[in-house]
Amino acid sequence: MSAFILVDTKINNPQVYEEYKALARPLAEKYGGIYRTRGGEMDVVENELWSPTRLVLIEFPDMEKAKRFLNSEEYAPVKAMRNANAECTLTILDGI
């Protein structure tokens, strides 16, 4: 069953964040991740609970691979770069 990582990101340092994006993508792909959307145009139709800023959706073959990517030693310094230069909400969702 597929799993998805959904991230809402408010970028505070665009220059460093570009470097983060270049490093994160090949790591996600190594774990089977496929970027389905990455900060594209949004039409927020309803926002009673949440007002998204910049959404990224990555599909993985399963929950295990998504978690292995997020918790991998190689992603740890890249994640630190994201955390130092952006504010994020991240969730992993089971697919159907």
**Ordered domains of the chain (ranges, CATH):** 3-40+54-94 (3.30.70.100)
Note the helical H segments in the chain.
Answer: 14-30, 63-70, 76-85
pLDDT greater than 90 at residue 96: no
Mean pLDDT of the 20-40 span: 97
Nearest CA to 59 out of 36, 40, 42, 75 is that of: 36
> What does the pLDDT read at residue 90?
97
Mean pLDDT of the 26-51 span: 95
pLDDT greater than 90 at residue 33: yes
